[in-house]
Amino acid sequence: MDRLKFTLGNARDDLLRDGDDWDKFSRFWEDLPLDPYMGDGGTYRRRKHSLISYTVADGTVASIDQDGFLQSKEINRLNGGIVRRFEPADQALLDTSVFRRLLAHFVARIERSTPDGAPVPAVRRINVHQHRIVATQRETGNPTPEGIHRDGVEHIVMMLIARRDVTGGVSTLYDNTRSPVLTHTLTDPGDYIFLDDRTAMHSVSPVRVAPAAAEGYRDMFFLEFC
């Protein structure tokens, strides 16, 4: 069995030095529509989703038309087994320099970790997810309502865009026997967990509004390399 493979970092420290570019990038989380597919009846998640192709040689990004987003019940016990159709990420987000640098950086890291002799795809398919989890005095936000799970892909980037007026949101990584290996809180914009999904499972604790605040949120960006 493969040991759990992951790294922690901060993208703004590692590869993004221009604060203005990050500020423009993070504004794309301000207009996310409500996720209408929550099996627990929650109204705390807002999201967009796109499937893209990435040509490694020249960095070309193209949106792939798809008839919805489907996960199996084995992968997602709460919301799996149905086709979910979300509004796609804005093309303007896909065109930002921040997005392009993130793609190039993590694709290169995946290639460097590929065993000698193993095939390296010339074109990669990548799920792009934008999430905002909202917490209010009436409703707790739940980043992973499906519980401990894996996403059923190759590698995942789980990156914090913003946290405001919330507590909780603690990430836990587990090995394939569901034994916890790491507990970590993404606190600063750009903090990320880069995870080999085949070697691990993960969950995030509920997000609660901070005392004296009416509402808070946790914005996340996910890249799933299929």
Query: What mean pLDDT comes out for the span 143-152?
Result: 87
Q: What is the number of residues in the chain?
A: 226
Query: What mean pLDDT comes out for the span 201-222?
Result: 95
Instruction: Lowest mean pLDDT of 59-68, 71-80, 142-151, 168-177, name the range.
Output: 71-80
Per-residue pLDDT band for 130 (boundaries 50, 70, 90) equals very high
Position 185 pLDDT exceeds 80: yes
Tell me the pairing of strands 191-196 and 6-10: antiparallel
Q: CA 77 to CA 68: how far, in whole Å?
A: 18
Tell me the pairing of strands 69-70 and 83-84: antiparallel
Helix (H, G, I), strand (E, B) or coil at 92: helix
List the structure tokens of 68: 């919805």
Instruction: Lowest mean pLDDT of 50-54, 116-120, 181-185, name the range.
Output: 116-120
Per-residue pLDDT band for 192 (boundaries 50, 70, 90) equals very high
Report field, pTM of the whole predicted structure over 0.85: yes
Exposed, middle or buried: residue 90 (CB in 10 Å: 0-12, 13-18, 19+)? Answer: middle
